[in-house]
Amino acid sequence: MREGINLLGSASPVMVSATALECWEDMKKSESVVITAHRSPDGDAVGAALGLHHHLKEMGIATSVVLPDRFPSFLDWIPGTDGICFYDENAEKATQLMHHADVIWCLDFNGLDRVGKMENDLRDSPAKKWVVDHHQLPDDFADRLLSDSSCGSTCELLVDLIVGWGQADALSDDAMACLYVGIMTDTGSFRFPSVTAHTHAVLAHFLSRGLDHARIHQNTFDEQSLNRVQLQGFAMSERLHLHNEFGLAVVGLGCNDLERFHYKSGDTEGLVNKVLGLAGVRVAIMAREAELGLIKLSLRSVGDFSVRDLAASEFDGGGHKNAAGGVVRGMTLLEFNDFVSKSLPKWFET
Ligand SMILES: [Mn+2]
């Protein structure tokens, strides 16, 4: 067991402006602590926020978790979700909590524009902002920053921080379950290139402390609604456009398609990875019409093609080299598909 912990400690995330222990000393002195994450929170965002919440509670520090909006329903089972304050449902309470906080942990995002409508209230809070994140090019709003864009998930970075506090053996079942969900979902169940020996050392430490990993996978992936499964099947069967000569595939779902299958947030989660899993496909785009004139994109790639660069230059977005997001305004899905066909030679010119 000690070996595992030593291995955990060997990672070298970039801790700017403070050591882990200074950070802990300040944490102990804080009277009011808020934890938040980015809007449309994913498994890493929810896992990091609640993982840190459970761990600090175990260490005698109460925190409030404030998220900009709801997370997809496949994360409902995560311990502690019922205590979350959602800004878009109770802005007054969320703003009060942020305004009276000494410290606000900002997890899994590094720019204030990533929290949607909560942006101004978060910026205006007099609290210190402590950021733990693994996206590139952090903005400069952080009073403390733990940032490593080579790390596969914010949850993995948080474990490093907890190890730095000397509390690896104090991680509770609930904290580990949350942190495991973040690492699992942000690494495509431990398969992306960002997974390292250190990632597995973290997992080994969790398992050695009794984490029920099989139950977590089952809760997250094996409780899908019929509508979701049928929507994804319909998308692959009826809404897939293959551009074989470029190794690109686009799957697009319109408002009507989504209505037909009673779409709920999260129902298209994983669809873009299924498209990327097709033989010969190196770049996958999932386009979802959020409303008329607004299409939300998820982009994935394997190998050297950077969907982050594509999302940044064409779709007002960003993310990681092999996983990014973006938006298209003022186009129908049909027009978007035309736009893609016309743009392909430019995107793939070498
Ligand atoms: Mn993440």
Ligand 1 geometric centre to CA of 40 (Å):
12
Model confidence band, residue 265 (pLDDT cutoffs 50, 70, 90): confident
Given this model, what pLDDT does residue 18 score?
56
Ligand 1 geometric centre to CA of 135 (Å):
8
The environment of the single-atom ion ligand 1, i.e. residues with CB closer than 5 A, is: 44, 108, 154, 186
Q: If we measure between CA atoms, which residue out of 213, 222, 150 comes closest to residue 180?
A: 213
Partner residues linked to 300 by β-bridges: 284, 323
Q: If we measure between CA atoms, which residue out of 157, 66, 50, 55 comes closest to residue 104?
A: 66
φ, ψ at 115 (rounded to 5°): -110, 15
**Which ranges of 165-212 does DSSP label H, i.e. alpha helix?**
173-186, 197-208
The model's pLDDT over 19-28, given as tens digits with 9 standing for 90+, comes to 888 899 999 9
Ligand 1 geometric centre to CA of 280 (Å):
27
In the chain, the domains with their CATH numbers are: 2-221 (3.90.1640.10), 226-347 (3.10.310.30)
The model's pLDDT over 189-229, given as tens digits with 9 standing for 90+, comes to 999 889 999 999 999 999 999 999 999 999 999 999 999 99
Q: Calculate what percentage of the chain has a pLDDT beyond 70.
A: 95
Ligand 1 geometric centre to CA of 42 (Å):
8
17 against 202, higher pLDDT: 202
DSSP string, 173-185: HHHHHHHHHHHHH
Q: Please work out, in degrees rounded to the nearest 5, the angle formed at the alpha carbon of residue 214 by the alpha carbons of 212 and 149.
A: 85
Q: Calculate what percentage of the chain has a pLDDT beyond 90.
A: 85
**Would you say residue 308 has pLDDT above 80?**
yes
Ligand 1 geometric centre to CA of 107 (Å):
8
Block residue for tokens 């129902």: 267
How confident is the model over 264-285, as a mean pLDDT?
Answer: 94
DSSP string, 224-260: --HHHHHHHHHHHHHSEEEEGGGTEEEEEE-HHHHHH
Given this model, what pLDDT does residue 71 score?
95
How confident is the model over 34-47, as a mean pLDDT?
Answer: 97
The answer to whether the CB of 273 falls within 8 A of the CB of 299 is no
Q: Tell me the pLDDT of the chain averaged across its residues.
A: 92
Model confidence band, residue 15 (pLDDT cutoffs 50, 70, 90): very low
Name the CA radius of gyration of the chain, rounded: 20
Ligand 1 geometric centre to CA of 155 (Å):
8
Among 71-80, 100-109, 133-142, where is mean pLDDT lowest? 133-142
Given this model, what pLDDT does residue 3 score?
28
Q: Is 274 exposed, middle or buried (0-12, 13-18, 19+ CB in 10 A)?
A: middle
**Would you say residue 325 has pLDDT above 80?**
yes
The model's pLDDT over 120-146, given as tens digits with 9 standing for 90+, comes to 999 999 999 999 999 988 888 999 989
The answer to whether the CB of 283 falls within 8 A of the CB of 274 is no
Q: pTM, whole model, 2 decimals?
A: 0.86
Given this model, what pLDDT does residue 151 score?
93
- Distance between CA atoms of 229 and 331, rounded to whole angstroms? 27
Contacts of 160 (CB under 8 A, 6+ apart): 8, 11, 13, 146
The answer to whether the CB of 186 falls within 8 A of the CB of 42 is yes
- Distance between CA atoms of 276 and 248, rounded to whole angstroms? 9
**Would you say residue 232 has pLDDT above 80?**
yes
Ligand 1 geometric centre to CA of 109 (Å):
8
Given this model, what pLDDT does residue 8 score?
38
Partner residues linked to 105 by β-bridges: 35, 130
DSSP string, 53-77: HHHHHHTT--EEEEESSPPPGGGTT
